[in-house]
């Protein structure tokens, strides 16, 4: 990817790419929930949890999914099952460093390495903070949802079945109930 943007312009472009990509994959998961009668989820719920990590690190954090409030983090998972205390994130393969599809753009290598490593570190930090506050965390790769869409078109379960197994397993562990 040639680096044709100024830094400010690039971060503006990136934030738009991120929000659009995320909205699409979120909608794919909404379809999976609806098609399988999975209820009890909410979108874009802000959770405020304690973080024991340093405020110096906190100040560097900036993301539509996360902001800092002193020693606390305001986290916005893509989906929340409030009764189950289950937070679900749909992670884009590029932005979150998927081991299968995560790539480093050739241009401006140092910038991207730093940027993508910071994203991965932030995801781990969010997971830790949520778990310490009694939340279960489920992260689903964007590629799992792409496979799901393909399998659905063929009338099979495939990757979707495996994805749902993970969702239901996490829900079951929370004492699913109704
Ligand atoms: Zn992937």
- Rounded to whole angstroms, the maximal C-alpha distance in the chain is 53
> Which residue ranges form the domains of the chain, and what is each CATH number?
7-142 (3.40.960)
Query: Who has greater pLDDT, 76 or 14?
Result: 76
**Are 90 and 142 a contacting pair, CB within 8 Å?**
yes
Residue 100 CA, ligand 1 centroid: distance in Å? 5
Average pLDDT over residues 66-77: 77
**What is the rounded distance in angstroms from the CA atom of residue 135 to the CA atom of residue 53?**
18
**Are 86 and 80 a contacting pair, CB within 8 Å?**
yes
Q: Which of 166, 73, 171 is nearest to 125 (CA)?
A: 73
Residue 55 CA, ligand 1 centroid: distance in Å? 32
Residue 176 CA, ligand 1 centroid: distance in Å? 29
Residue 54 CA, ligand 1 centroid: distance in Å? 31
Single pTM value for the model: 0.70
The dihedrals phi and psi of 20, each to the nearest 5 degrees, come to -70, -45
Residue 133 CA, ligand 1 centroid: distance in Å? 28
Query: Who has greater pLDDT, 110 or 103?
Result: 110
76 has a pLDDT exceeding 90: yes
Residue 35 CA, ligand 1 centroid: distance in Å? 23
Residue 130 CA, ligand 1 centroid: distance in Å? 23
16 has a pLDDT exceeding 50: no
Q: What angle do CA 3, 9, 11 make, to 5 degrees?
A: 85
Those residues whose C-beta lies under 8 Å from the C-beta of residue 19, and which sit 6 or more positions away, are 64
What is the DSSP code (8-state) at residue 78? Answer: S
Return the beta strands (E) in 6-119 as ranges. Answer: 42-43, 47-50, 66-69, 72-75, 79-81, 86-91
* pLDDT (0 to 100) of residue 154: 62
**Are 65 and 23 a contacting pair, CB within 8 Å?**
no
pLDDT band at 129; cut points 50, 70, 90: very high
Those residues whose C-beta lies under 8 Å from the C-beta of residue 87, and which sit 6 or more positions away, are 47, 75, 77, 79, 80, 81, 130, 135, 136, 137, 138
């Amino acid at each position: 990817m040639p680096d044709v943007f100024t830094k400010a312009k690039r971060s503006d472009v990136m934030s738009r790419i991120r929000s659009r990509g995320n909205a699409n994959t979120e909608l794919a998961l909404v379809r999976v929930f609806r098609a399988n009668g999975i209820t009890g989820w909410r979108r874009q719920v802000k959770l405020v949890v304690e973080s024991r990590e340093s405020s110096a690190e906190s100040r560097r954090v900036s993301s539509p999914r996360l902001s800092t409030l002193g020693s606390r983090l305001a986290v916005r998972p893509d989906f929340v099952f409030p009764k189950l205390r289950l937070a679900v994130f749909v992670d884009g393969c590029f932005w979150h460093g998927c081991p299968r599809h995560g790539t480093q753009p050739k241009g401006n290598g140092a910038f991207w390495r730093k940027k993508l490593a910071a994203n991965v570190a932030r995801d781990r930090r969010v997971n830790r903070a949520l778990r310490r506050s009694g939340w279960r965390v489920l992260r689903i790769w964007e590629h799992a949802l792409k496979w799901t869409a393909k399998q659905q078109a063929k009338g099979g379960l495939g990757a979707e079945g495996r994805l749902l197994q993970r969702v239901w397993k996490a829900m079951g562990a929370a004492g699913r109930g109704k």
